[in-house]
Amino acid sequence: MQSNEDSPGVFLQETSGGFTVKYLDRYLYPRETPRAAKEKKARSLALLLGTLYLLPSPLLFYGLDILLDRLPGGSGLILMEIIPALAEISQKVRDEKSIPAAIQKLPLLTSFEALETHLEALDFSRFRRAELLSLT
């Protein structure tokens, strides 16, 4: 990953604690310790058995490995990024060899139509509930 402008309006900036992302003049990750902050959030979430989670804007996937390890049995996770410039970054990061295979296998949906198609194919009988989950 390079610390320069990858897409219009999106800037990646390297810090001592990983990369941070600035989009439309707003930092989407902490400026000092982006990786540690997301990992701490992933450790602190109360996760429920049998829940389908929708995680918006995974971007750099910080903390996602911890979240997957903690995900209770019978639960599922869908990643979604509908802003094209941010989706491009997520796709590039996910395709890197340093990202665990379990994360690379997760669906990364980039439109509401893709989400609808994905949900239509799921067997909802295995889930008790669906929840929005955020690492921000």
**What does the pLDDT look like over 66-79, one tens digit per residue?**
999 999 989 999 99
What does the chain come to in residues? 136
**Where residue 8 falls among pLDDT bands split at 50, 70, 90?**
low
pLDDT given at position 128: 93
Kindly report the backbone phi and psi dihedral angles of residue 129, in degrees, each rounded to the nearest multiple of 5, phi listed first.
Answer: -160, 165
The answer to whether 58 touches 81, Cβ cutoff 8 Å, is yes
Calculate the average pLDDT of the chain. 88
**Residue 31's pLDDT band (cuts 50, 70, 90):** confident
| End-to-end alpha carbon distance in the chain | 21
pTM for the full predicted model? 0.85
Pick the closest to residue 134 from 68, 53, 32 (CA basis): 53
Question: ∠80-12-33 over CA atoms, to 5°?
Answer: 90
- Residue 62 sits at the vertex; the CA angle it makes with 59 and 52, to the nearest 5 degrees, is 75
In this predicted structure, what is the pLDDT of residue 7? 59
The pLDDT score that the predictor gives to residue 69 is 95
